[in-house]
Copies of this chain bind each other. A is one copy, B any other.
């Protein structure tokens, strides 16, 4: 058991490290060389450009020499707070704005609860005074004197705790209701004020049955012409192009190398670059690199051409999935919300995700396989959740100092040093846990992909929900029980498994200090680390040194990242759980949570404004999950309080506590029916309103052409490119690669050659009109599809606006 002193040391360490991180951040962020690490969102949004390079000296290009800017190391805070919520929605999307509301919700819930708990429950606990009398045979820490453990069993003081449990539950419910209502309103408002989007007119149809005499496209056409005669507009078949995508990726890599060597040759025209072809350039025969890569590229292009023919001509390459478009939002809303076919497993319709949100690989999974996949994955998640506990428990038993001394007696003198001991006891268990959790989201994301969800947003939500179960069992329950379990393993094995809730209830107050350390490590230092962006910083500079060959590579080395809902939602939900469980039991834990929420709010607001790049817009589709998880946390806190009370011989508590979970469940049901439809369905009233407005303002709108390419499978854009390329080759023998990156590079080089003032104007227009998605280098996102539409209208390319798609699938 950690004492108050241990806790103090831990707090000191964590506050210190958070402070160090903040100072480091303050220094690093104002260095121009780190600009692309700390302000990538501004680059993407076109609010910051590359011009500092041309106007200043070599030194100031990399280091900020203005001493004034170093003084105010918290100067980012007002900046983070300055932007209003409406601006935030415009700048970073509704998802980000609503994500920040989770933190403010945390503050709104826990600030009054903390005040009340500290004013009422702490005095009650202190004057309960049993433990003081028990002597030293049980090693209770000082914190326990302020917790419910200090109240003697059978005491009437437990009425205060029951009353507070009711008050807290009501308060949380009120806050949740208000917030759900706000978010639902924001969502509807956002959707209503959105400009015309392809996904408003499009429905994704899955499990199209195979009709022997017809092609899939014909079947779809016939079906929708028959069943939606008034509104059906067209359809976009989906091609299975995973092999082609692999080739594209391969070609791109080779192209990069070719660019690099050509650049090298340009700079030193006398020496043609050579190298070996074998493994890692160390063996094999010596060849001219430019020739070599050109040959390999043309080889790949040949294979691409044959693969392309295969995709286009093979009917099996058309998947039983289609994006069906309608001539009005009303028609699409109707089709998405109704059942189409007599067989409910065929012609499954749903809203099409945003084009950039589609996860193409999962589109072809049939219904039955989907059901099997989900079952298998749920078993796998179950196994992961329950057997992952073993290594954590092992590491934690090592982190237990007595255990460590037994395993490694030679460490004893070091460990026994007071400072080291406090450090280890305060820091190790939380840290071990954090490391374990680090690789997990990736695994869970892959699991979600196997489950067959078709949009990135739903994948993230599914990952979040798996991660939540994991956190609940392993971080929360695992920490509560395992820590106790190693002290009383024998007794525990011989208790019936149904006793667990009670055991947890009893263990809860004892683990308060552990969770305080956890909050400090994970919440305080962790968030400070988030703003410092150590990993992207290091990787960016490493890439800059070793890999970046062209300006385009520098752009690719910039890793804005995103909010990572799959990882952050569950952690947030864990904090809510801790807060709600300990609100009645050990109120002293609450201030730690409040500091976390406040600090994290500032940091994430700053990051959302300056760093993260939104990958898709789901219009806050994750809120129902956030809401129901907080409800679940409340229910867990009620059950545990129940377990705790039953060991405290407070017999009257049973009938009083039984209504709390009932009320909570009713509240949840009410909120679900009241607000959830706003997140799952699209009201016809709304659809009709927007349709009518559009008809009135643009009576001659050609919707068909607007929708024609929106859900075109990326392969088609590449096909167009390829066809153009082939034509160009024939015309001019000179190889003209119509490539987004190449163009951009050319543009930058031209721009640099021109006068800076003229350049600035031009470039601003260009980047402003560029809707760009950076390709993430994270393994967790490497299989996603990124699409960017480049509308070129700057002066150095007088060609008409032109769509170029960038495409990246790793199967």
Contact = CB atoms under 8 A, between A and B. Distances in A.
Interface stretch (A83-91, A480-488, A670-678): A670-678
Interface in A211-229: 223, 226-228
Interface residues of A, number: 48
A684 B339 contact: yes
Contact of A498 (B499, B666, B677, B684): B499
Interface string A667-691: 0011001111110011111101000
State the oligomeric state as a number of copies.
Answer: 2
A338 B344 contact: no
B496 A340 contact: no
A677 B375 contact: no
B340 A338 contact: no
Given A338-B334, A683-B342, A371 B673 contact: yes
B685 A344 contact: no
B338 A333 contact: yes
A345 interface: yes
B338 A681 contact: yes
A338 B341 contact: no
A129 interface: no
A770 interface: no
A750 interface: no
A362 interface: no
A227 B379 CA distance: 45
Contacts of A793: none
A371 B672 CA distance: 11
Contacts of A728: none
Contacts of A646: 496
A188 interface: yes
Interface of A: 188, 223, 226-228, 230, 330, 333-334, 337-342, 344-345, 347, 367, 371, 374-375, 378-379, 382, 496, 498-499, 501-502, 646, 662, 666, 669-670, 673-678, 681-686, 688
Nearest to A368: B670
Contact of A685 (B333, B341, B378, B496): B341
A339 B339 contact: no
B344 A674 contact: yes
B684 A227 contact: yes
* 5 closest Cβ pairs, A-B complex: A344-B677, A498-B498, A339-B681, A375-B666, A337-B338
Contacts of A374: 669
Nearest to A646: B496
A337 B680 CA distance: 13
Q: Which of A374, A682, A685 has the most CB of B within 10 A?
A: A685
12 contacts: A223-B685, A227-B330, A228-B684, A230-B230, A333-B338, A337-B337, A337-B338, A339-B682, A340-B685, A342-B678, A374-B669, A496-B646
Contacts of A334: 334, 338
A650 B566 CA distance: 41
A484 B670 CA distance: 40
Contacts of A378: 662, 666
Given A338-B338, A371-B673, 6 more contacts: A227-B685, A228-B684, A334-B334, A338-B683, A342-B686, A496-B498
A673 B330 CA distance: 26
B338 A684 contact: yes
A682 B341 CA distance: 9
A339 B677 contact: yes
A181 B140 CA distance: 61
Contacts of A227: 330, 684-685, 688
A340 B688 CA distance: 10
A682 B340 CA distance: 8
A347 B341 CA distance: 26
Contact of A340 (B382, B499, B675, B684): B684
A678 B337 contact: no
Contacts of A501: 498
A501 B681 CA distance: 41
B662 A339 contact: no
B342 A188 contact: yes
B673 A345 contact: yes
